[in-house]
Structure 1
Amino acid sequence: MSIYTTKSGATSILKPFSGADRERAKTAAANKVRFATAKEKGLLESIRVAVEDGNFHFVQEFTYFIRESDLDDDEFLQVFTDARQIVHHLTPDFISLVEALMSLNWKNRDLVIIQAYTDFCVDVMVTHNRYLPIGLIKLIVHWIPADLDSADWVNGSPSERAHMDLKTIHDALNRILTAVPMSFDEVIDAITSKFPYFKKPSHVTAGYLFNVLWFIEYKPIFKELILQLVLQKLLVLDVNAPRDAIDVETGENQQPTVNHPIGHTLDICLLMLYKFFDEQCRIEPKSREESLSASQVFHMLLYLFNELLLPSHNIHHVQFVIFQVCGIRSVYWEGFLQMLWKKVQNPNASAIIRHTAVGYLSSFIARAKFLPLGTITFYLQELSKWAHSYIDDSDEYGQNCSLKANMVFFSVCQGIFYLIAFRASDLTRCKKDLLFLQSLQLSRLAMCHFNPLRYCLAPVATAFAGVTRTHQLAYCHTVLERNARRKLATVYGHDKSMSEEVLETIFPFDPYLLKLSKKYIEPIYLAYHDNETDVVQTVTLPNIRKRGDSEMIEDDEFIVADKRQKLLELSNSEEFDEDCHYGSSINLKK
């Protein structure tokens, strides 16, 4: 009989009910329909019937009960106290029940209840490894801020309330991982699977990164794999926030901010990562153990640079992680430069990797404000020795001088030209410096049969020519003119605009555009300043008609004017200051 039926048989719909009576009736119905079986049997009895009789009906009812009801503290504590008593019976046959138990909201309850929940999780995962992935994900999912929680996350830092909630999560996770050391792979898989999609709001990705970095502070055994994952995820952000799409505006707090959504996310994440490495690698005179730990972190980062950053193409900001760390201690930048130089000289490495290593080497030496002059001259000398040796080993008349066949040589030459042009003020201060530059035999490099100036980026070649002419080290303008004519003649001969064969430029430490994280880079970063050398327009294209040119007279005025303008603009020494962009052109101006 319905609980709404009276003794007379008339239904309640025909009789007026007060609001209080109606609520009591609803509660009674809900208790009778939803909770009677679960409360009568309880967890212990439901499991006993399932184990002894093979009847899982009561277990299913209890599972529905805890999923749908809002347990008070006493009920919550009773459920988990009972669950710990029969944890050895909770085989994978009870996976739905265990998952429901782990899904209960426990974060904002009393410490006794949190302890009971954690104890159960530890027990069930130790007893049944099958539940490790489920249990870890149930904890790690709490690392992800909700889309509407941006007020609790300012530039990747949680509010006090959010931090207290997260501490509960991390304490529980720490207990579980200490008790279940074989969970290494499951932890990495869980953290990887829950990493937010790169288009998520900035506070979501940054909040998750905050928790990831927090995690490896108390579980350093995971440090290398977690940092590898972080760099991989930041690379995805980086390639989706190209330099030409990043625009800076003044935010509400009067601080400049990147208005590109993904660029803004990258900016906050790099700010957090720089802070992490600064704390990990900056040495205070405390103990030998801390010094060894910092060195281990650097070597870990150097390994990840080799594996992830060096082979990556078209990245703009993530590589500054190694730049920032190298600025902390001299032993770091010494190790970084040595690694790059070995990579350049390694004949077993691919040409593109060696070419990229030259770009990192020359860009780092040019931009690192903390490098002593002796280091700059050492690597200039080593690069020059290698280039001269390459020329000596070649056959001037039978050698294939194409870009593809000699990419590493042209890369080294461009690196030399770039460094001399960029660091001219440091390298020409006194007679001793000029004698050193003379010893590099720059004229031989520029004038050799390989003609490296032909393949260099035009602003680099022109700026180098201006510096060397001013200090009477080499005279390259004739070569630049000849190269310009050769390119134009090729275009005319095919009666269309042909692509010029130019070495792909990789100067990875071009000016830093992200505003929040820039505070870690700016103090150690050298911006380009015009060296005020006597550089003039070096490419002149006289209108000389040759025999046999009559067939292209009609098109000369249009093609020549267009091409001449392009080359004259590129050859202007000011372009060295204005057009240095990683991967396409160079812009040495901040």
Structure 2
Amino acid sequence: MVGVRVSNKEEFPVMEKGGYSDSQLVSHFKGLLVAVTTGDRENYDELVGYLHPKKNLSPDEVAVLVTTLKALSGAVSFIDSFHHESLLFAVSRMSLWNYGTEVMDALLELIVSLAASNGKYIDWCLEMLVKHFVPPFYIFDSLKQENGIDRKNKVLSRVHAALKDIADLVPLAPLRLSPIVVQNMPSVFSNEPETVMYVENMLKLESGAVGETVGSTMLPALVDRLLELDVEIGWDGILQEDTRGIFDMELEDICKFTDEDENFDSMSEMLNRKNLQGNLVVQKLDSLIVLAFLHLESCQSSGRLAEVFDILLPSFQRTVLNAYNSKFTQFVMFYACALDPEGCGVKYAMVLADVFSCDVNPPITRMSAVAYLASYLSRAKFLSAAMVTTIIQSLVDWCYAYCKLRDFDMNPRAHQVFYSGCQAIMYILCFRLRSLMDIPRLKLQLLNMPMEAIWKHKLSPLKVCLPTVVVEFLRQAKAAQLFMASDSFVFNDVLESDLSKAYGGMDRLDMFFPFDPCLLKKSESYIRPHFVRWSKVRTTYDDDIDEVSDNDSEVSDDDFVGRNTEEIIDDDDMVVTVEDLDFNPDLNKMSITPKSSLKYGMRMPARIRPSTSPESL
């Protein structure tokens, strides 16, 4: 080490050539710390003064600071929180971001030594390190400069190395680290750079050396924060689609207002995306979700995705599933499934199906689960047709069993879970029916399902479920000849019937489809390759429908989402309204044949959201 000389203040060492050896200096500091307990503070106070942060340190001042920190590292067993409170306070105010690598290393050596010396300092040392996950506010601008990334890496790599050193020396430290990291997360009102950098370090912890212990806490904490931001946005900035008019805006008109590379299913989707621009909370949420996506990609590359998904799934069930005003957080689950369709993708669907079918779960949870399931199966391009059919079969079987146990009770709120299951079946088939009917074995499976008995049951699901979904489903079912009975179906003449409103009640879960197109621009770019848009779905009544293939194989993505914008517009000369449909109140004598020979033009909603107050969610 660099030598020191004795100052004129009773042998307190200061930097100069020659002087104390390392062991002598440590011994001197031990004596100095002990002297404080007897009331002798003069040299101690001078020592504390060296540790107070200063700007633009000279080389000699840097040398003194490094020597002082190293000497204290050797004397940590003599530091007492009661007598040396000012010393600990001075150290706590030091920031690695303000110093060069020599001071950084010396300060971290002191922190690690202090943590290993006495268990009562563990939390203090861990908090000291965690606070370095983000720099002081005045440092952020400098990180944008040419050497900013290098400066950031020098600090954070040392912080994480120190956390590992403490974990190695004190095996219980990681258990103490998790709550400290969570408690020190920036609030929902913090600025975006601070929050993003902190979360980066949380995810680095999750995938790092201590991840086995802290990983189960970091990801759920991130999901919770995403959800807090999500609900903070509220519905005020998002236009509510009226179920009577969601088909009025066609893609041809939308294209007039958008860039060619933008894809929207409705005018309101385009406007909502635009309305959210400039919203700081939205931007922060978007950036954090992208961080989560990148972390999931990293986990996939390292073979850890299944392990991480098993942590995310219970977190989703505990929070997001029961948060009916979640708009974007759920796409973290969607992306994880997209990265591993056969593993995570199937497991997610099965868990949602199990939550729905389990009578022990609260009705509101079961309704939400099946809404997630329907939206997921409809929108996930990566799911196989066979798996989708298996889930449809399970939903049909449940609804059919429910019907057999009930005679007649037209109180929709008493059967909300049943109606949510019926609506899920119809919604999925609106997106998937064409592709499933193109596969002979799956077509046969669909034709053998007792769906017709469900729709004609006295509980009248066709009168209660969301009218836009019912109408679209019946049109496709008719075109595909899904029902073998001679009688066909017609829909109620009241588009938003009292029964339908009663089913959703104040919660309006009949209109909740959580995987509607994502409005977050950066996040949507990751979701897009794996996502099915309604505007691209080939329906059973499309003019280009082909004969059923003799090849009993899975259809390709092109078979599922093959229509282009021009084809859609050509098919939409007119829109079928409820007045165009023959109405017969007897559900056993129904027909969906239009009064005129108009082409079918009604479209499924791109985003179905509450038509009542936003707070109803």
- Say whether the fold is shared (TM-score over 0.5): yes
Which of 23, 33, 41 in structure 2 is aligned with 1:47? Answer: 33
1:522 matches 2:528: yes
Query: Is the partner of 2:427 in helix, strand or coil?
Result: helix
Which of 459, 468, 476 in structure 1 is aligned with 2:468? Answer: 459
Query: Is the partner of 1:521 in helix, strand or coil?
Result: helix
2:109 corresponding residue in structure 1:
119
- The separation in 2 between residues aligned to 1:37 and 1:199, in whole angstroms, is 51
1:536-565, CA deviations, whole angstroms, 9 ceiling, x for partnerless residues?
3235799xxxxxxxxxxxxxxxxxxxxxxx
Structure-2 change in CA distance of 1:276 and 1:404 (3 Å) = same
Alignment map for 1:264-303 (pairs within 5 Å): 264-282=283-301, 291=303, 293-303=304-314
1:339 matches 2:379: no
Structure-2 change in CA distance of 1:411 and 1:38 (3 Å) = farther
1:313-348, CA deviations, whole angstroms, 9 ceiling, x for partnerless residues?
211111111111111221221211221121111111
Alignment map for 1:19-418 (pairs within 5 Å): 39=12, 43-51=29-37, 53-56=38-41, 59-60=44-45, 62-64=47-49, 66-67=51-52, 72-93=61-82, 94-107=84-97, 109=99, 111-147=101-137, 159-218=149-208, 219-220=210-211, 221-242=213-234, 245=237, 258-282=277-301, 291=303, 293-329=304-340, 330-394=342-406, 396-397=407-408, 400-418=409-427
Q: CA deviation at 1:411?
A: 0.8
- The separation in 1 between residues aligned to 2:511 and 2:318, in whole angstroms, is 21
- The separation in 2 between residues aligned to 1:582 and 1:101, in whole angstroms, is 53
- The separation in 2 between residues aligned to 1:141 and 1:118, in whole angstroms, is 13
Scaled by the length of structure 2, the TM-score of the pair is 0.71
- The separation in 2 between residues aligned to 1:75 and 1:239, in whole angstroms, is 51
- The separation in 1 between residues aligned to 2:214 and 2:419, in whole angstroms, is 41
- The separation in 1 between residues aligned to 2:411 and 2:119, in whole angstroms, is 60
Structure-2 change in CA distance of 1:376 and 1:59 (3 Å) = same
Q: CA deviation at 1:177?
A: 2.8
1:440 corresponding residue in structure 2:
449
1:510 matches 2:522: no
Structure-2 change in CA distance of 1:367 and 1:38 (3 Å) = farther
Asked if the contact 1:81/1:116 (under 8 Å) is kept, the reply is yes
Asked if the contact 2:430/2:476 (under 8 Å) is kept, the reply is yes
Query: Is the partner of 2:578 in helix, strand or coil?
Result: coil
Query: Is the partner of 1:325 in helix, strand or coil?
Result: helix
Q: Bigger CA drift: 121-130 or 501-510? A: 501-510
- The separation in 2 between residues aligned to 1:503 and 1:216, in whole angstroms, is 35
- The separation in 2 between residues aligned to 1:43 and 1:501, in whole angstroms, is 68
Structure-2 change in CA distance of 1:178 and 1:80 (3 Å) = same
2:607 corresponding residue in structure 1:
580
Alignment map for 1:534-553 (pairs within 5 Å): 536-539=576-579
Q: CA deviation at 1:112?
A: 4.6
Structure-2 change in CA distance of 1:499 and 1:461 (3 Å) = same
- The separation in 1 between residues aligned to 2:148 and 2:320, in whole angstroms, is 29
| Counterpart residue type for residue 359 of structure 2 | P
- The separation in 1 between residues aligned to 2:468 and 2:148, in whole angstroms, is 46
| Counterpart residue type for residue 93 of structure 2 | S
- The separation in 1 between residues aligned to 2:40 and 2:139, in whole angstroms, is 44
- The separation in 1 between residues aligned to 2:377 and 2:234, in whole angstroms, is 24
Q: CA deviation at 1:104?
A: 2.8
| Counterpart residue type for residue 428 of structure 1 | M
Structure-2 change in CA distance of 1:166 and 1:512 (3 Å) = same
Q: CA deviation at 1:430?
A: 6.5
Asked if the contact 2:229/2:285 (under 8 Å) is kept, the reply is yes
- The separation in 1 between residues aligned to 2:141 and 2:524, in whole angstroms, is 23
| Counterpart residue type for residue 335 of structure 2 | Q
Q: CA RMSD in A?
A: 3.7
Between structures 1 and 2, the one with greater helix share: 1
| Counterpart residue type for residue 280 of structure 1 | C
Query: Is the partner of 1:461 in helix, strand or coil?
Result: helix
Structure-2 change in CA distance of 1:97 and 1:309 (3 Å) = same
Query: Is the partner of 1:240 in helix, strand or coil?
Result: helix
Query: Is the partner of 1:92 in helix, strand or coil?
Result: coil
What is the count of residue pairs matched by the alignment? 497
1:561 corresponding residue in structure 2:
none
Q: CA deviation at 1:142?
A: 1.9
Asked if the contact 1:143/1:208 (under 8 Å) is kept, the reply is yes
Structure-2 change in CA distance of 1:226 and 1:77 (3 Å) = same
Asked if the contact 1:268/1:516 (under 8 Å) is kept, the reply is yes
Q: CA deviation at 1:79?
A: 1.4
Structure-2 change in CA distance of 1:312 and 1:57 (3 Å) = farther
Structure-2 change in CA distance of 1:128 and 1:364 (3 Å) = same
Structure-2 change in CA distance of 1:348 and 1:114 (3 Å) = same
- The separation in 2 between residues aligned to 1:133 and 1:485, in whole angstroms, is 60
Structure-2 change in CA distance of 1:466 and 1:152 (3 Å) = farther
2:558 corresponding residue in structure 1:
none
Q: CA deviation at 1:575?
A: 6.2
| Counterpart residue type for residue 359 of structure 1 | A
Q: CA deviation at 1:139?
A: 1.9
Asked if the contact 1:511/1:527 (under 8 Å) is kept, the reply is yes
Asked if the contact 2:299/2:305 (under 8 Å) is kept, the reply is yes
Query: Is the partner of 1:423 in helix, strand or coil?
Result: helix
Structure-2 change in CA distance of 1:326 and 1:187 (3 Å) = same
Query: Is the partner of 2:233 in helix, strand or coil?
Result: coil
Asked if the contact 1:506/1:582 (under 8 Å) is kept, the reply is yes
| Counterpart residue type for residue 280 of structure 2 | P
| Counterpart residue type for residue 226 of structure 2 | L
Q: 1 or 2 for the larger relative contact order (CA 8 Å, sep ≥6)?
A: 2
1:400-423, CA deviations, whole angstroms, 9 ceiling, x for partnerless residues?
442332121111100011111122
2:244 corresponding residue in structure 1:
none
| Counterpart residue type for residue 508 of structure 1 | P
Structure-2 change in CA distance of 1:158 and 1:434 (3 Å) = farther
Query: Is the partner of 2:534 in helix, strand or coil?
Result: coil
- The separation in 1 between residues aligned to 2:607 and 2:353, in whole angstroms, is 23
Asked if the contact 1:507/1:583 (under 8 Å) is kept, the reply is no
Q: CA deviation at 1:242?
A: 4.4
Structure-2 change in CA distance of 1:114 and 1:204 (3 Å) = closer
Structure 1 or 2, whichever has the larger Rg, is 1
- The separation in 2 between residues aligned to 1:176 and 1:377, in whole angstroms, is 52
| Counterpart residue type for residue 64 of structure 2 | E
Q: Bigger CA drift: 124-133 or 429-438? A: 429-438
